[in-house]
Amino acid sequence: MITRQRLAAGICALLATLSAGVAFPAGAVADETDSTASPKVELVLDVSGSMSAKDIDGGSRMAAAKQAFNEVLDATPEEVQLGIRTLGANYHGNDRKTGCKDTAQLYPVGTLNRTEAKTAVATLQPTGWTPIGPALLKAADDLNGGDGTRRIVLISDGEDTCQPLDPCEVAREIAAKGIGLTIDTLGLVPDAKTRDQLSCIADATGGTYTSVQHKEELSDRVGQLVDRAADPVVTPVATEGTAQCSSAPALKSGLYTDREEFGKQRFYRVDVNPGQELRASVSVGADREVNPDYGVLLRAVTVHGREIVRGEGTGNGRTDVISTGLRYPKAESDDDNAPAETVCLQVTNSFSAPSGVKTTPGLPLELTVDVVDAPSNSSDVASFGLGRGWWLLGALVLTGFVAGLLWGWLSRWRLAVWRTN
Please give the distance of CA 271 from its chain centroid, rounded to a whole number.
Answer: 26
Residues 6+ apart with CB under 8 A from 75: 223, 226, 227
- The pLDDT tens digits for 157-215 are 988 888 778 999 999 999 888 777 899 999 998 888 898 899 889 888 888 888 888 98
Query: Against a cut of 0.75, is the pTM above it?
Result: no
How high is the pLDDT of residue 10? 42
How high is the pLDDT of residue 142? 95
What is the radius of gyration, based on Cα positions, of the chain? 28
CA distance 69 to 340: 55
DSSP strands (E only) in 234-289? 237-238, 254-260, 265-272, 276-285
The domains of the chain are located at 33-233, 238-373
CATH 2.60.120.380 matches 238-373: yes
pLDDT along the chain (421 residues), means of 10: 39 38 40 60 94 92 94 93 94 88 95 95 92 95 87 93 87 84 91 90 86 89 88 77 95 91 95 93 87 93 94 78 89 83 96 89 90 62 44 67 72 67 62
How high is the pLDDT of residue 23? 41
Q: What fold does the segment set 33-233 form as a domain?
A: Rossmann fold (3.40.50)
Burial of 213 (0-12, 13-18, 19+ CB in 10 A): middle
How high is the pLDDT of residue 375? 61
The answer to whether 135 and 87 are in contact (CB under 8 A) is: yes
Q: What is the β-pairing status of strands 237-238 and 254-260?
A: parallel
Residues 6+ apart with CB under 8 A from 193: 159
Identical fold, 33-233 and 238-373: no
How high is the pLDDT of residue 248? 96
Stretch (H or E) spanning 140: helix 132-142
Strand partners, 306: none
Count Cβ atoms below 10 Å from residue 357 Cβ, excluding itself: 12
Q: For the sheet containing 265-272, what is the strand order?
A: 265-272, 341-349, 294-301, 307-315
3-state secondary structure of 255: strand
Q: Please state the φ and ψ torsions of residue 205, each to the nearest 5 degrees.
A: -115, 10
Amino acid of residue 149: T
DSSP class of 50: G
CA distance 157 to 304: 55
How high is the pLDDT of residue 334? 77
Burial of 109 (0-12, 13-18, 19+ CB in 10 A): buried
3-state secondary structure of 266: strand
How high is the pLDDT of residue 15? 35
CA distance 137 to 171: 8
- The pLDDT tens digits for 53-92 are 999 999 999 999 999 999 999 999 999 999 999 999 998 8
Amino acid of residue 272: V
Amino acid of residue 138: K
Q: Vertex 391, ends 385 and 395: CA angle to 5°?
A: 130
DSSP class of 234: B
Residues 6+ apart with CB under 8 A from 333: 274, 275
Residues 6+ apart with CB under 8 A from 65: 45, 51, 155, 188, 218
Burial of 351 (0-12, 13-18, 19+ CB in 10 A): buried
Amino acid of residue 362: G
DSSP class of 242: B
